Structure 1
Amino acid sequence: MARSRGTGSNNRGTGRGTRSRRAAAAARARDEEARGWKAGVWRWTRRLFVTGLVVAVLGAIGLFTAVYFAARSMPSYVALQQSQVGQTILVRARDGSEIVELGPSYGQWLRSDEIPQVMKDAMVSVEDHRFYSHIGVDPAGLARAVYNAVSEDRQVSATSTITQQLARNVFLNSNRSLDRKLREGILSLALEWNFTKEQILELYLNKVYFGGGAYGIDSASRRFFSHSARELSLEEAAIIAGLVKAPSRYSPTADVEAAVGRANVVIDQMVKYGDLDPAVAREVDVEAVNLRETEGQNSIRYFTDWALPQLDLLLPNNTFEPIEVWTTIDVGMQRAATTAIQSNVPGQGTQGALVSLDRDGAVMAMVGGTDYVDSSYNRATDAMRQPGSSFKLFVYLAALEAGYTPDDTVNDVPVTINGWSPRNSGGSYAGEIDVRTAFAYSKNSVAAQLGNEVGFSNVASMARRFGITTPINTYPSMVLGSNEVRLVDMTRAFAAVSAGGNSVDPYGITKVTTADGDLLYQHEAATPYRLVPDYVAAGITDLLQTAVATGTGRAAQIGRPVAGKTGTTNSNNDGYFVGFSSGITTGVWMGRDDNGRVTGLQGGTAPAAAFAAFMRYAVRDRPVEEFETDLQLPEWQLEPDDEFYYGDEGDYYYYIDEQGNLVEPGRTSRQRGQDGFDVEGEGANVRRDPRAPLDPQPVQPGTQPAQPQPRRAEPPPAASDDFLERATGQRPGDTPPAQPRRPAEIINERRD
């Protein structure tokens, strides 16, 4: 027993020793691993450091080389003084007459010692307060902008120094690309290499753009204050310095309050950076500055503001030489459009816009507001407003394409669709009426039912097809014009109807030449493509003509055929009228910029009256044109006719005799059919309209009525056996069923 215990003790000692050795080995392994990991980290750190150092050195060498060669190739100071930014553009009307000349306006060149110190201080304080300490770019400002962007989760704000702005204005364009920004930085360093700070500031103040075509402080001073920049006061200098950030927004001739507010920001910056005594700043009264009275500008500027930016696309090769731009604008029609809008807008604060297109899409008149001087915002091309019931154009186009005709019967009754219950204007309902009457009197209930039947997505697709570019939702209320659109797009859509259902592309520039007459661009007519079949275009024209002749658009009558549609939004916020006559299509919108209510504003009142006033002038020299409204329906709508489903098969077939009388085969024109209706001559009376709804039931207000049904089957995309089986109830070649299926059954099956 003693020996056994001793052996056990030795074994335990041996076990403890083994465990200790294992622990020590593990500890040594961990230490070696840690030392290896640290050595690896240190090794990679050194590699990264060396690599970064090499890259930095190479980058510095590359940057130095780029700046060196940029500085060597840079024009002399005298050459930069004589260079001009901008381009003179002479705009001509469609008859070749000069309508406006646009381009840069340069005042006198002021040497640095002629520029008032307050002007220098104001500009440096608000645009680049570290101007005298940086080397052309401002690393501290850039770092701060990046930090703010990261911490506030937004884009990097503008960090251009005065030198960078000068480089961009003289040598580059305003594209926001990384390549342009890199070149801007290199050129800024080259400018600082070649010239002194005073020279750079002198160049900048004589070349920077201040809006309204004014380049340089002397031109701006003469434009806004009617005197030389040598005489600028502190308040005037603050106004001019504040313009650089956004010339159009802070222009004192466009928005005095905005200009004064921005000038006060400049004053605060001057105090903040020590360029102005706070006591002097408290005495500053920017509002007391006398501004030069601005002469009224023709509304033609709305058109040029829309058309001229397109030159960047029309002229792929940039040219800075003077050019002449020949446009589609008609001076007389532009004057008539301006007068029509100004004379018909209801009440103070109401704005109006008008766009008129020729049959090929040429813009002959464009008015973007009641006064360009008061507001240069172009409501004809930029404003997105609700068109009201004029949007029903697309609802009825979709319905006509689905098989309706203007004579088909619909039910004007209360309806609820997905919890939405549209209400007719005035709250009255007419019951059974035809499609033509529903459109003419802008029945909301019928439009809602038609939109629900053909599909709201199909209505949206139709609007897209006709050129609506703004977002379109497919909620049921979209049929009443709840989507916001641009007036120019709606006018384009109606112009396509006027063109027989063919596409129309608005354009404003016919050609561009140099001052010497060399052709730089010539407009080529776009090949139109068909948007809807002829019979659909004829049907919608029928509806539009009736809306003006007897419906809500009666105020748009001008003594010759006119087709058009009114539009009014809830609370009378927007009034629309768009229509066409004799190949000219014109759209009119009226409303307030703040989307406020305009008492009495409806599409059929002021907008329709402005349309009529303009169109009487616009079409005065054009021949009267009757509309093509005869529906030449396609075969799929004519056969089989619904009459087949109301009697015996033998009662269906008829022909027309030489006198135009309807005659049933096997009978003379004097016989009467067994069904009891006369088949002879003009006195014939049909026992019932084959397009009448099947078993119409009265609908109680607030309930869901049966949806109106198309009276003809939809044209199939392909006459497959499956389609024929669904449409006729039999396979091709089978014996016809004893009892034909009712149209409603076919349509219901198609809808499902």
Structure 2
Amino acid sequence: MPRLLRWSVVLAVWGLVAGFVALVFFAWDLPRPEDALSATRRPSVTLVAADGALLATSGDLYGETVRLRDLPAHVPAAFVAIEDRRFREHMGLDLVGVARALVVNLTAGRVVQGGSTLTQQLAKNLFLTPERSIRRKVQEALLALWLEWRFSKDELLTIYLNRVYLGAGTFGVDAAARQFFGVPARRLTPGQAAVLAGLPKAPSRFNPRVNPSAAIGRATEVLDAMVETGALTAAQAMVEAERLHFPPSPSRDAGWFADWVREGLGDRAPPTADLLLRTTLDTRLQAAAEARIDALLAGPGRAAGVSQGAVLAIDAATGAVRAMAGGRDYRTSPFNRATQARRQPGSAFKPFVYLAALEAGVRPEDMVADGPLTLGGWSPGNGNWRMRGEISVEDALAFSVNTAAVRVMQRAGGPRAVTAAAQRVGLPGPLPRDASIALGTAEVTLIDLVVAYAPFANGGHRVAAHGVMEARAEGRPIAWLPPARSPVIAPETAEAMRRMMAATVARGTGRAAAVPGLAVAGKTGTTQDNRDAWFIGIAGGMVMGVWLGNDDASPMDGVAGGGLPARLFRDILEAARRPG
């Protein structure tokens, strides 16, 4: 007997030593929990449209910190019901739950149920990597025990609900509620809470934006679990399941605008604070631009060999961007043809020629010859224009007569004077130094061209394109002044230019852009071999530009600025004005 006792003591001692060594082995590289709880993260940037509709998010998106007493009881109940029904009874490790999961998995022949508690999930999410290993599971258990010792159950549940990852870059129920339903967490319905509670299992697979049917199926499982735990009655669960729906997703192609805004933040954004930006985007106009450009490229554009296009609209008075479509589909091509593609504008450049001429004393009613012209061996053509001998300066612009435009440029003082006028209203260089500048041989972006037209519409003031009207950091407003505008054209000159471009739409090459009941002015542009087709128009206090072409600069089949681009301009305006 003494011998047995002696060996029992020896084994116990060695068992304690082995346990201590194992504990040291598993715990030696554990993170400091206090440090992890205060760990830094990537500040989020949330963009909303002018009407408050969500456009895009980036970074780690957290909402407001929520407390249990501020939430409807069904929100925490949903997570407890589906993730850890014995949360209030265990001390971080649920041996009963592990045993039950083991039986279920053995019966099913595959892993269908986990045994991790909410506290273990919290430990994993806060402190550990997603690695699957025995070492990590032991560390998870140790940290779960520490959390249970350090915090009360209500505190643990509060931390969990504020820090759990719920997909689409969102952490916590408030951020996810706003992302998927457009409401704060305190206004979640039981059905909506069930959707969120179903996400931790597979945030990507059950994302309501990506797979709404899977999200609803998973939410139904959560509602059934809530019935089993007594959080809901069967009748309530059925009603909630039937009323489940998701708000429309943000604009599918506003990604170009969101990218442009984020790229322009620079040093203006606080480096460590979550940022909420209310942008200038008009969701109605944006939706109209997206829908109409897609319809045009799928129909008449396809038949005419047009594969791409871009649309940009700004408020003429301020430069605020109201709509931006940088192509046909952002998901397949995020390259922004509205802001990054440099193409020849063709005759869409001519208003700057006529601006320089007006400033040199030329009047719209003055006459100019439209016959053949040769300068240093260069002879510009007039396309299908039938020579009249002389036409008014206004008609020269309205009908886009090339030889007349070159002669008007000479009256203005030559290429140098035209370059100065174009750059003054906002069109950056480099610009050609020879007579070909009159026919739009420079390379420009759509956004620069649209901005440079703004003084013709706003009484002569230069503006800068911008996309943010209001900013908040961590809920507090921060100064975010829009770019200042400056006078660059005499008001009477700007008005004369607008009247001349109105003639282009009324009787010239831009007739297809006319909208009944709306004063429209603008200019068409077509480059050699129909490689680029433009229409830049002014209507209702807005300047909107349209470009159509192909990324490889291959010719289109007879597409000119007065055709499909002018029609697209008109279609977008009509769709945006349509009630409903």
1:211-222 matched pairs, under 5 angstroms: none
Aligned to 2:223: none
Q: Secondary structure at the match of 1:563?
A: strand
Alpha-carbon contact 1:578-1:586 (below 8 Å) kept: yes
Q: Secondary structure at the match of 1:522?
A: coil
Q: Is 1:310 equivalent to 2:264 in the alignment?
A: yes
1:517-666 matched pairs, under 5 angstroms: 517-524=475-482, 526=484, 528-559=485-516, 560-618=518-576
1:212-611 matched pairs, under 5 angstroms: 298-315=252-269, 317-319=270-272, 321-345=273-297, 346-347=301-302, 350-358=307-315, 359-426=317-384, 428-454=386-412, 455-515=414-474, 517-524=475-482, 526=484, 528-559=485-516, 560-611=518-569
1:50-69 Cα deviation digits (max 9, x unpaired): xxxxxxxxxxxxxxxxxxxx
Against the structure 1 CA distance between its residues 342 and 299, is the aligned structure 2 distance closer, same or farther, given a 3 Å change threshold? Answer: same
* Deviation at residue 504 of structure 1 after TM alignment: 1.7
Q: Secondary structure at the match of 2:462?
A: coil
* Deviation at residue 387 of structure 1 after TM alignment: 0.7
Tell me, in whole angstroms, the C-alpha distance in 2 between the residues paired with 1:371 and 1:84: 35
* Deviation at residue 351 of structure 1 after TM alignment: 0.7
Aligned to 1:109: 129
Alpha-carbon contact 1:344-1:609 (below 8 Å) kept: no
Alpha-carbon contact 2:43-2:271 (below 8 Å) kept: no
Asked which structure has the greater RCO (Cα within 8 Å, sep 6+), the reply is 2
Alpha-carbon contact 2:306-2:556 (below 8 Å) kept: no
Against the structure 1 CA distance between its residues 297 and 328, is the aligned structure 2 distance closer, same or farther, given a 3 Å change threshold? Answer: closer
1:373-397 Cα deviation digits (max 9, x unpaired): 1100011011101111010010000
Tell me, in whole angstroms, the C-alpha distance in 1 between the residues paired with 2:372 and 2:283: 49
Structure 1 portions without partners, runs of 5+: 1-74, 116-211, 216-227, 230-294, 622-752
Tell me, in whole angstroms, the C-alpha distance in 1 between the residues paired with 2:523 and 2:333: 28
Q: Secondary structure at the match of 1:469?
A: coil
When the two structures are superposed, what TM-score results if normalisation uses the length of structure 2?
0.60
Amino acid at match of 1:508: G
Tell me, in whole angstroms, the C-alpha distance in 2 between the residues paired with 1:470 and 1:98: 36
* Deviation at residue 104 of structure 1 after TM alignment: 4.2
Against the structure 1 CA distance between its residues 90 and 214, is the aligned structure 2 distance closer, same or farther, given a 3 Å change threshold? Answer: closer
Residue 51 of structure 2: which of 83, 95, 107 is its match?
95
Alpha-carbon contact 2:321-2:466 (below 8 Å) kept: yes
1:346-388 Cα deviation digits (max 9, x unpaired): 1266111111111321111110000001100011011101111
Tell me, in whole angstroms, the C-alpha distance in 1 between the residues paired with 2:358 and 2:577: 29
Amino acid at match of 1:608: A
Against the structure 1 CA distance between its residues 114 and 437, is the aligned structure 2 distance closer, same or farther, given a 3 Å change threshold? Answer: farther
Amino acid at match of 1:332: R
Alpha-carbon contact 1:576-1:603 (below 8 Å) kept: yes
Q: CA RMSD in A?
A: 3.0
Q: Which has the larger radius of gyration?
A: 1
* Deviation at residue 541 of structure 1 after TM alignment: 1.1
Tell me, in whole angstroms, the C-alpha distance in 2 between the residues paired with 1:439 and 1:114: 78
Alpha-carbon contact 2:292-2:568 (below 8 Å) kept: yes
1:444-475 Cα deviation digits (max 9, x unpaired): 00111122332101111111111112411212
Tell me, in whole angstroms, the C-alpha distance in 2 between the residues paired with 1:581 and 1:326: 25
1:22-43 Cα deviation digits (max 9, x unpaired): xxxxxxxxxxxxxxxxxxxxxx
Q: Secondary structure at the match of 2:313?
A: strand
Tell me, in whole angstroms, the C-alpha distance in 2 between the residues paired with 1:214 and 1:571: 50
Tell me, in whole angstroms, the C-alpha distance in 2 between the residues paired with 1:530 and 1:421: 37
Against the structure 1 CA distance between its residues 297 and 564, is the aligned structure 2 distance closer, same or farther, given a 3 Å change threshold? Answer: closer
Alpha-carbon contact 2:48-2:277 (below 8 Å) kept: yes
Q: Percent identity?
A: 35
When the two structures are superposed, what TM-score results if normalisation uses the length of structure 1?
0.46
1:307-326 Cα deviation digits (max 9, x unpaired): 122222323x422x322111
Against the structure 1 CA distance between its residues 595 and 433, is the aligned structure 2 distance closer, same or farther, given a 3 Å change threshold? Answer: same
1:663-716 Cα deviation digits (max 9, x unpaired): xxxxxxxxxxxxxxxxxxxxxxxxxxxxxxxxxxxxxxxxxxxxxxxxxxxxxx
Amino acid at match of 1:341: I
Tell me, in whole angstroms, the C-alpha distance in 2 between the residues paired with 1:80 and 1:545: 64
Aligned length: 372
Alpha-carbon contact 2:512-2:563 (below 8 Å) kept: yes
1:600-749 matched pairs, under 5 angstroms: 600-618=558-576
Amino acid at match of 1:564: G
1:169-248 matched pairs, under 5 angstroms: none
Tell me, in whole angstroms, the C-alpha distance in 1 between the residues paired with 2:527 and 2:169: 39
Tell me, in whole angstroms, the C-alpha distance in 2 between the residues paired with 1:607 and 1:484: 19
